Structure 1
Amino acid sequence: MTNDINTELPTPIAVVHRKIPILAGVNQYQSPFTQVIYVKSGVLSIITDSGRHFVPPTQAIAIPAQLSHELLAKTEVELTLLSFESKPAEILPDEIKVLSISTFLKHLLDECQSIDKHYLWHETPGRLLRLIRDYLACAPSLDIFLPYPKDPRLTNITEKLLKHPSLKSDLISWGKFVNASSRTLTRIFKKETGITYSEWRQRLNIQIAIKHLAVGDSISHIAKLLGYESSSAFIYMFKKQMGISPNQFLKS
């Protein structure tokens, strides 16, 4: 993918289908249009100044116009990108969020792959895209956002965990590393991210697990990678966070 940005759309809702190789992406950019990216297969990472979103297979992400962000394919990715002019975008989310896509909406998104880019807005292709837009507008969100703190002491911690997720240090141990008390780190972490350190660790683990599940890695391998003592402990964490087991997640 490139970061060339078109300033005009050929139709009120434009559709592009692409296959992205692993670790390819788009550097920091802002689209003049609201966009929704449906990830048909693979895992896509979207990074903003406030944190990182992971889009699992068969889910989507809504990105408001003019939001600065980066895209990175964590695996090989097949996606559908829908760009919306301002009027059709009015009912879509006004903040970035990962959307949970129903089976019916998946079928609609698959169907739109055959639409020509110069389709007629008031005929069947336009009606299909308006229907997709309406279902995207009411799709529930999937909260696996990983917020990034700003305090240098916290970024020292989170950057190491992003590289070495199996580290099991608590905030008492980290406090010795960054010269701050665990009480101070706890307070600042909650203030800057909106979640606790423990919750942040679990969200990091979920994002990493989603990537490895998507490429077919075994549950035992993922559990070991994340530092869990057993597969059952990892499965318990995943189910507690996502509401379903790793195997159910893949099937869904």
Structure 2
Amino acid sequence: MPENLRKNESGSVSEKESPIVVIKREIPSLAGIPLHKHKRGQLYFVQKGVIAIITSQGRYIAAPNQGVWVPMGQEHEVIAKTDTQLIHFYLAPEQCENTPEQCVTLQGYAFFSAIALEASTISNDYTWKGSDGRLLRLIRDRICQADWLDTYLPYPQDERLKLIVERLQKHPAIKSDLIAWGKFVSASSRTLTRRFKIETGMTYSDWRQRLNVQIAIKHIVLGDSINEIAKMLGYESSSAFIYMFKKQVGVTPNNYLNIC
């Protein structure tokens, strides 16, 4: 790779180079990229594993053949939930005209996965008007027209809700309702119910289900059994977990990898 295209510590690239820059990288489980931002739009496309993209507003998750689009200027950090292989696509500002204005999770499907893999072999000194440039323009167009998955988990900002959220992320099997949590954070259940809805746009129950889906996706990709995942998340039966997952995602846990 030419010197002026080398990555810096956050995995970024020189902002003055090719209209679209492609970089492959591997991140081991639980490692990541600290909080940073780019002057380019970026797609983190997952070849293997599960990643979480975290902003001050919440967390996005992507499994194999999915990706997370991060618009230019958006501060974010990256955490590999498993050993992960990624393809980064950095789009210069003029290439981001029709891309999403906020972070979203992209559903890749077989065709996008194939062209992303092909693009990962392109040297970044390619000719923009040549065949390699055409392939990258196709990827840009597909990003603009992609199907997006709702894997977003919004983060509340209220300090009392933050305490609840932090505890649930560490111990997802906890079955406390907002009455019990109210005693933990010294607030009424009515106040917590109202604040949860205002700050996340979701009820507490819906937020917990979204958290459980994010956790479950990691373990599905790792190959854990449905019974093990259901137990870890505090469900009394695997059927109850399967019902929740299908209601949230649209497919059963066993069929989830088929859409990736």
Output the TM-score relative to the length of structure 1: 0.97
The answer to whether residue 37 in structure 2 is matched with residue 40 in structure 1 is no
**SS of aligned partner of 2:149:** coil
The answer to whether residue 3 in structure 2 is matched with residue 2 in structure 1 is no
Q: Which among 78, 87, 95 is matched to residue 94 of structure 2?
A: 87
Correspondences of 1:173-192 after superposition (within 5 Å): 173-192=180-199
Task: Quote how far apart the aligned CAs of 1:4 are.
Answer: 5.7
CA distance in 2, matches of 1:128, 1:3: 26
Q: Deviations over 1:84-115 (max 9, x none)?
A: 11111111111111111122211111221221
CA distance in 2, matches of 1:113, 1:201: 37
Task: Quote how far apart the aligned CAs of 1:139 are.
Answer: 0.7
The answer to whether residue 118 in structure 2 is matched with residue 115 in structure 1 is no
Partner of 2:168: 161
Classify 1:79/1:9 alpha carbon distance in 2 versus 1 (closer, same or farther; 3 Å).
farther
The answer to whether residue 42 in structure 2 is matched with residue 29 in structure 1 is no
Q: Which among 103, 114, 117 is matched to residue 110 of structure 2?
A: 103
Q: Deviations over 1:198-223 (max 9, x none)?
A: 01100100000001111111111100
Partner of 1:244: 251
CA distance in 2, matches of 1:90, 1:37: 18
Unaligned runs of 5+ in 1: none
**SS of aligned partner of 2:148:** coil
Q: What code does the residue aligned with 1:87 have?
A: E
CA distance in 2, matches of 1:30, 1:204: 25
Task: Quote how far apart the aligned CAs of 1:7 are.
Answer: 3.7
Identity rate, percent? 50
Aligned length: 252
Task: Quote how far apart the aligned CAs of 1:46 are.
Answer: 0.8
Partner of 1:224: 231
Task: Quote how far apart the aligned CAs of 1:82 are.
Answer: 0.3
The answer to whether residue 70 in structure 2 is matched with residue 63 in structure 1 is yes
The answer to whether residue 48 in structure 2 is matched with residue 11 in structure 1 is no
CA distance in 1, matches of 2:120, 2:55: 28
Q: What code does the residue aligned with 2:32 have?
A: G
Q: What code does the residue aligned with 1:131 have?
A: L
Moved over 3 A (4+): 4-7
Q: Deviations over 1:123-165 (max 9, x none)?
A: 1000001011101101121111111111111111111001100
The answer to whether residue 151 in structure 2 is matched with residue 144 in structure 1 is yes
Partner of 1:193: 200
Alignment check: 8 A CA contact 2:39 2:93 kept: no
Classify 1:4/1:83 alpha carbon distance in 2 versus 1 (closer, same or farther; 3 Å).
closer
Output the TM-score relative to the length of structure 2: 0.94
The answer to whether residue 229 in structure 2 is matched with residue 212 in structure 1 is no
Q: What code does the residue aligned with 1:240 have?
A: K
CA distance in 2, matches of 1:48, 1:150: 12
The answer to whether residue 84 in structure 2 is matched with residue 73 in structure 1 is no
Task: Quote how far apart the aligned CAs of 1:178 are.
Answer: 1.4
Alignment check: 8 A CA contact 1:2 1:25 kept: no
Alignment check: 8 A CA contact 2:27 2:83 kept: yes
Classify 1:4/1:39 alpha carbon distance in 2 versus 1 (closer, same or farther; 3 Å).
closer
Alignment check: 8 A CA contact 2:65 2:109 kept: no
Classify 1:156/1:221 alpha carbon distance in 2 versus 1 (closer, same or farther; 3 Å).
same
